[in-house]
Structure 1
Amino acid sequence: MSSLLVTRARLLTVADGAPDLGHIDEGWMLVEDGRIAALGAGSPPAGTTADETLDVVGAFVAPGFVSSHSHLFTSGLRGLGVSETLYGWCDSMLGFTSHMSADDIYWSTLHGALDFLGNGVTTAYNFTDPLQAWESMVDGKRVGNAPLRDLEYHTRQADGCRDAGLRFVDAIGMDVTAGTDDEIFDRFAAEVAHTRSMDPSLALGASIMGQVQWSPRPEAAEFEVEAMRRFGVTNQAHFLESPEAVPLQQAKFALYRDAGALGPDMMFGHFIQTTPEIIEATAAGGASMSWQPASNGRLASGVALVPEMLELGIRVGMGLDDQACTDISDPWGNMRAGIFLQRARTKEPLSMTPETVLRLHTLGSAEILGVDDRVGSLEVGKFADFVVVDPRMPDVGPLWHPVRSYVLSMSLRNLKKVYVGGVLVSEDGVSTNPLAAEASARLHADLPPQAARFGHPR
């Protein structure tokens, strides 16, 4: 059994009920066999020993970030669709992936997962690129006759997360326009089985990539609800995101409501073009939402009414979305974007505070994913997933309000080390994973020839 003792840490535990998000000016943490065994203020109790001691000399030690909404396969497609809103951007980015092989998508996902880890994100809800290739939208819905790729196209994406060493929830599209009803469920069952065959300390669960928003089948919600019940999985739907065809989007909320989806296993991603009635029904049903402020700004989607949702008791997490639509997987930038957007919208500084966004991007995200018993905060028994963030390199000055400084003044340049299960996975932005160099080389070698063959993405 391996062990690690962290000393002289400015701890941010983000434990529920702890004052100031569990901030401790100087503390220690003991890790045994990948989990937090003990932690506290001051020096470790006499006689505390470990195989390795990490003296952080006053740096922050905080939970690894949890991204509750991510598409890791997009890591090689940054900077695209800058003049487009959601669907035009999708045509550019997903139009490119429609030509990718299972091997291509593996390396792209691995590259994206390593990018998350290098930027302090240790757990992600990962939407896989569906087996049915992308089609341009027609009146807010897909035609539904794009070719269906082999099952390996999905399983290799899950493999990429695992091989990177990222903890993940695997989100799978059901592609309900491809095949008979039995074939749809059998295909989904095989995808879920692959994920569940993996090490459960990394593959934290399977989920549905909700596709009702753009499905041409009116019973798509019933398919998803049946799969949730049959396979014991959660569901996150991209919903009410784009500023186009808003009444049509809003009308589709009734499909989920009438199918009985609005429970604690249902999440709505983005959830921007809402109405008071939609928000109230979501709160009453116990569903949650995932907020992607940086992505929503990049794609000109709008600003979700997050303070109002929180006031009604809706559980909220935060996601970094795509590398292709946030371009830098920066959780500090994402938190600040969230604060700034909400304050600009409400003209009320207390509508979104640093303490709130830090919780939402860690424990809050873990809660909506149903994995908060394992990740999201530094508490005894949870996985020892943490970041070491040095406020003196570069120096940000006195820490008058440490938690607020952590959110508002820290950045990726202050991030020195990232640990998953008490094991160093990144130091000064350099991955310790033996596949990191090959992942980078493969993207640079393989993607440009595809662009030359199929057309350069916009």
Structure 2
Amino acid sequence: MKRQLLKYYKLLIFFICTTLFVCFGQVVIAQSNYQLGTQGKQRVELIVGGDFVVTMNNAQPVIENGAIAIKNGKIVAVDTRDKIVAAYRADRTLPGEGMVLMPGLINGHSHSAMVMFRGLADDLALQDWLQNYIFPAEGKFVDENFVRIGEQLACWEMIRGGTTTFVDMYFEPDVAAEVVDECGLRAIIAPSSIDFPSPGFQGWDDAFAASVNFLKRWKGKNERIVPAIAPHAPYTVSPEHLTQAIRAARHYDVPLTIHLAETQTEVQDVQQRYNATPVQHLENLGFLDPRVFAAHVVWPNESEIALMAKRGVGVIHNPDSNLKLASGFAPIPAMLKAGVKVGLGTDGAASNNDLDMWEAIRLTALIHKGTTLDPTAVPAKTVLRMATLGGAEALGLADKIGAIKVGLQADLIQVQLQEPHLNPLYNVISHLVYAADAQDVDTVIVNGQILMHKREMLTVDSNKIRREVTYLAEKIKAEFRPSN
């Protein structure tokens, strides 16, 4: 009996060992097959694809069934989907079927927290709007809490619409920068300085000193946030203070933004004061250089357009705001022909009334055809470039963003092509300019971080923002008389 049991145990042990050996061998084979399959593949954090990859790179303008590989927040490869998948393995892949993959939109001029004044004062001329409604409302309501809530709402709106970089020319810049840091967007933060009292300041001296201290605190602190100098405009800032501003920008090596030649009233005012047009006035002060980008520039003459091109000044076109305030039609075709670096902006939501770059894109393409009576003026490809790489060039950021190109930051959006207004599809760039809108943006990526995917916000608490906006708006409504 004992012998039989011993024999049985030996057979059982043999069976177990054999089974374990076979299983181990299968694991080894499977692991070997996996290693063979991934051998030579470079590991990246993210692969993002699209049925169409619109690169804004002349070397590869549109790649069908394309993809890009992202590592450490930068683009490391751009090619067809099959080639990218064959060469790279990613921690996460966003395939992009039914999508256009393109650079994120660049909003070159905004006053972001002014979303809290959206609809407060409409259908007014610029000076009436500013002097009688906006400046008084800012003096009464703008503080750190106002800017924090407004900035959060603006970032939520911009992410939803596919804007990945924006310029914020407003107050409480530290608060704005903290919100931008939290939500994941990229921004140039430019605290506005002006010669008369503004929220928290008595005038130019204390406002400008605070601006300089801000840029000292934030320069180089966060790769997504660039501090800048922002004198308000030639008609609200004296020549001495304009000179002080450009010297500071050069000394600290930061950008400078300013409102310029926005209305005929401004042109007449500056002409009377200084015997020069706004653009020529800045030239006389030695103000114009490549670090300067000017908002609006609706009323330059031919020689001033050539001068801005020569000096390398960037121009940010704001068609929605220019139309709503009846400021006029900027000569964008002439600027582009002269070689001026031109980007697009929304301006603040108090004069737009939104932060929708797709509206700015479509209006730019349409307005200048109508004003020139030339259907070839500012074609779709040119306008899309203005909203991406052209904007980056105007802001001095083309070495970092604006195109899908190896070495640039991974600031990208996926735009879905499934809705009826995007079908049928013959020309993807035409669709992006003339048919797409903010609701078509599916995914937003900045610096390799996914901020929105499948329309789900990942870096902002939209319910909390909505509650805080509603509460603050009720206070404003109760204490301030709207224009209508």
What does 1:443-454 align with in structure 2 at a 5 Å threshold? 443-454=469-480
Superposed displacement of residue 446, structure 1: 1.7
Superposed displacement of residue 428, structure 1: 5.0
Structure 2 match to 1:172: 191
What does 1:39-50 align with in structure 2 at a 5 Å threshold? 39-43=78-82, 44-50=84-90
Call closer, same or farther: CA 1:442–1:286 in 2, change over 3 Å: same
**How far apart in 1 are the matches of 2:408 and 2:166?**
16
RMSD of equivalent CA atoms: 2.3
**How far apart in 2 are the matches of 1:2 and 1:438?**
34
Opposite residue 166 of structure 1, the aligned amino acid is L
3-state secondary structure, aligned to 1:321? coil
What does 1:155-194 align with in structure 2 at a 5 Å threshold? 155-176=174-195, 186-194=209-217
Opposite residue 450 of structure 1, the aligned amino acid is I
What does 1:91-240 align with in structure 2 at a 5 Å threshold? 91-99=132-140, 100-129=142-171, 153-176=172-195, 186-196=209-219, 198-200=221-223, 202-203=224-225, 205-215=226-236, 217-240=238-261
3-state secondary structure, aligned to 2:343? strand
**How far apart in 1 are the matches of 2:53 and 2:401?**
16
3-state secondary structure, aligned to 2:78? strand
Opposite residue 170 of structure 1, the aligned amino acid is I
**How far apart in 2 are the matches of 1:284 and 1:197?**
29
Which whole-Å deviations, capped at 9, do the CAs of 1:99-149 have from their partners, x for residues lacking one?
A: 2221121111121122111110000111113xxxxxxxxxxxxxxxxxxxx
- Identical aligned pairs, as a percentage? 24
Call closer, same or farther: CA 1:9–1:456 in 2, change over 3 Å: same
Call closer, same or farther: CA 1:30–1:355 in 2, change over 3 Å: same
**How far apart in 1 are the matches of 2:290 and 2:160?**
31
Opposite residue 109 of structure 2, the aligned amino acid is H
Find out whether 1:89 has 2:89 as its counterpart. no
3-state secondary structure, aligned to 1:214? coil
Q: Which runs of 5+ in 2 are unaligned?
A: 1-42
**How far apart in 2 are the matches of 1:180 and 1:69?**
23
**How far apart in 2 are the matches of 1:307 and 1:424?**
36
3-state secondary structure, aligned to 1:29? strand
3-state secondary structure, aligned to 1:440? helix
Call closer, same or farther: CA 1:198–1:456 in 2, change over 3 Å: farther
Which whole-Å deviations, capped at 9, do the CAs of 1:3-36 have from their partners, x for residues lacking one?
A: 1122353100111x336xx111211111122221
Call closer, same or farther: CA 1:216–1:123 in 2, change over 3 Å: closer
Call closer, same or farther: CA 1:162–1:93 in 2, change over 3 Å: farther
**How far apart in 2 are the matches of 1:31 and 1:419?**
11
Find out whether 1:68 has 2:101 as its counterpart. no
**How far apart in 1 are the matches of 2:85 and 2:179?**
41
Q: TM-score, normalised by structure 1?
A: 0.87
**How far apart in 2 are the matches of 1:111 and 1:181?**
29
Between structures 1 and 2, the one with greater helix share: 2
Opposite residue 309 of structure 2, the aligned amino acid is A
1:421 to 447, 468, 472: 447
Structure 1 match to 2:338: 312
Which whole-Å deviations, capped at 9, do the CAs of 1:139-197 have from their partners, x for residues lacking one?
A: xxxxxxxxxxxxxx332122222222110011122345577997666433211123326
**How far apart in 1 are the matches of 2:204 and 2:448?**
44
Superposed displacement of residue 244, structure 1: 2.7
3-state secondary structure, aligned to 2:234? helix
Opposite residue 384 of structure 1, the aligned amino acid is A
The structure with more radius of gyration: 2
Kept in 2: contact 1:124–1:169 (CA 8 A):
yes
Aligned length: 430
Kept in 1: contact 2:188–2:227 (CA 8 A):
yes
**How far apart in 2 are the matches of 1:197 and 1:266?**
19
3-state secondary structure, aligned to 1:322? coil
Structure 2 match to 1:276: 302
2:93 to 41, 48, 53: 53
3-state secondary structure, aligned to 2:295? strand
Call closer, same or farther: CA 1:180–1:70 in 2, change over 3 Å: closer
Kept in 2: contact 1:96–1:457 (CA 8 A):
no
Find out whether 1:438 has 2:464 as its counterpart. yes
3-state secondary structure, aligned to 1:57? coil
**How far apart in 1 are the matches of 2:205 and 2:107?**
33
Which stretch has the larger CA shift, 4-13 or 162-171? Answer: 4-13
3-state secondary structure, aligned to 1:52? strand
Opposite residue 194 of structure 1, the aligned amino acid is R
**How far apart in 1 are the matches of 2:340 and 2:76?**
32
Q: Which runs of 5+ in 1 are unaligned?
A: 130-152
Call closer, same or farther: CA 1:213–1:429 in 2, change over 3 Å: farther
**How far apart in 1 are the matches of 2:400 and 2:297?**
27
